[in-house]
A and B are shown apart, each in its own frame.
Chain A
Amino acid sequence: MVQPLGYLRESASQTAGPYVHIGCTPNFTGIHGVFETDLGSGPLVNDKTKGERITVRGRVIDGSGTPLRDALIEIWQADADGFYQSPSETRGTADPNFLGWARCPGDMATGEYVFETIKPGRVPFRDGRLMAPHITFWIVARGINIGLHTRMYFGDEAEANAEDPVLARIEHKVRVPTLIAEREGNTYTFDIYLQGENETVFFDM
């Protein structure tokens, strides 16, 4: 016999369910007076935030082509210089006027989510090569047993995208465009397909 390793096991995930909004965005669902505002709602920027203002919008779409109207979408991104507002950020100090995280429920009628944010700077990969600018997405909903992680890249960053070490790992190049949001004015549209022909690439992070 040997000593037990003694590691605990991660708690198993369960679906967020159809009423995730009660806990994460209570004001959105009509529960007022408990929290003044819903955590992560509203723009990520204020007057002092550095960087180019952009709008990111889209829908989460199921295997029949129907947009989810009960999804909850969270984003996590670096500031304009590529620094994260996190204790694990050891390379420098992030913009004090940028949290980098936000949460948005899909619209109850159309399923659309919208984030008012800035375009992130480039962040180094594990070996020091620069990744292309990207926003990390985390999606939960009824019928999703464990939160789905993906990344949104920017359609007007073709050069950076071409040398991105993460995109380079995707064997089926035909799937890379599912992670790239096209730009129109200051708006990027990023539709997330859970299943089927245009299925978005999801990561085991």
Chain B
Amino acid sequence: MRNTMPETGAFFPRDREMHPPAYAPWYKTTVLRSPQRALISLEGTKSEITGPVFGHNILNEFDNDLIVNYAKPGESPIGQRILVHGRVVDERGKGVAGALVEFWQANAGGRYRHKKETYLAALDPNFGGVGRTIADEDGYYWFKTIKPGPYPWPNGVNDWRPAHIHFSIFGHGFAQRLITQMYFEGDPLIWMCPIVKTIPDEEAIKQLIAPLDMNATIPMDMRAYKFDIVLRGRRSTLFENRKEGN
């Protein structure tokens, strides 16, 4: 973490017309899990503008290498080897130093390692599908993995998720808490997916699609995809005239 004064401003309001609404009946599970009443607006108090910060002491050497972190010694998972990298920034473009980024995904065949998953594609004995990392001072993060496969899910009669990686991000305040999904450039399933289509804004969908990044590719080893994550910006406290202790 940088040795600078911590920022204590309230976060910019969320654009709720860009985020998916709670109720999106084409994604069937939302029907019974969506609040029907309006959210109560609450400009950030200490409870929202503060948030937990995680130190590197929680990390092991291979937490951000899914090719290694579940594999037997000398073995590796089957699939397309890729590097996923990018920056966690806020809406002002400032890097979110120390952001904890957690990720999880299916294997190359679209099979998740989970008790409740019954898809007939095989598990990969050398692939767990979980990792985490902490962004550096500039908000930069990276991890190595296998490109996940699409998988079918019981929503419509014939719905398939595009290849995707789930992301969970902690910024500097609990109001920035975000879970999202990364998609891959050129996947035709993206524009058919009911979960993608919960996002009402086409530009916002495009912002979740990671481009192939040949400049970051490791020759003869792995290709790269670049995925930048934007968290809520925050106001400067320079202009906020409030009592101490807000």
Contacts and interface: CB of A to CB of B under 8 A. Distances in A.
- The finding on whether chains A and B are genuine partners in a shared complex, rather than unrelated, reads yes
Interface of A: 6-24, 26, 29-31, 33-36, 39, 62-64, 66, 68, 70, 74, 76, 78, 84-91, 99-101, 108, 123-128, 131, 134, 136, 138, 140-149, 151, 166, 169-170, 175, 194-196, 199-205
B245 to A, nearest CB: 5
A131 B47 CA distance: 10
19 contacts: A6-B93, A8-B91, A8-B230, A12-B199, A13-B180, A16-B168, A16-B179, A22-B128, A30-B113, A31-B128, A36-B60, A63-B32, A63-B34, A123-B46, A124-B245, A126-B45, A140-B179, A146-B19, A148-B35
A11 B128 contact: no
Contact of A23 (B31, B40, B104, B229): B104
Of A33, A34, A63, A74, chain B has the most CB atoms within 10 Å of the CB of: A34
B166 interface: yes
Interface of B: 1, 6-8, 12-16, 18-22, 24, 27-37, 39-54, 58, 60, 63, 69-70, 89-93, 102-104, 112-117, 128-132, 166, 168, 172-175, 177-181, 195-196, 198-199, 201, 203-205, 207-208, 229-233, 242-246
The main secondary structure of chain B at its interface with chain A is: loop
Nearest first, the 9 A-B pairs at minimum CB distance are: A23-B104, A143-B29, A86-B50, A145-B20, A143-B33, A101-B52, A84-B50, A204-B39, A63-B32
B52 A76 contact: yes
Of A19, A128, A148, A205, chain B has the most CB atoms within 10 Å of the CB of: A205
B91 A147 contact: no
B180 A14 contact: yes
Contacts of A128: 243, 245-246
A59 B8 CA distance: 33
Given A9-B207, A35-B60, 8 more contacts: A8-B92, A9-B91, A12-B204, A23-B130, A86-B51, A88-B7, A147-B179, A199-B35
A10 B230 CA distance: 5
A14 B56 CA distance: 27
Given A7-B233, A9-B230, A20-B179, A29 B42 contact: no
Contacts of A199: 35-37
A18 B33 CA distance: 13
Contact of A88 (B50, B117, B178): B50
Contacts of A166: 42, 45
A190 to B, nearest CB: 16
Nearest to A179: B40
A13 B166 contact: no
The main secondary structure of chain A at its interface with chain B is: loop
A143 B30 contact: yes
A14 B179 contact: yes
Nearest to A203: B42
Contacts of B168: 16, 20, 23-24
Nearest to A25: B130
B6 A34 contact: no
B46 to A, nearest CB: 5
B229 A195 contact: no
Contacts of A8: 89-93, 230, 233
Nearest to A86: B50
Contacts of B69: 34
B243 A127 contact: yes
A204 B40 CA distance: 6
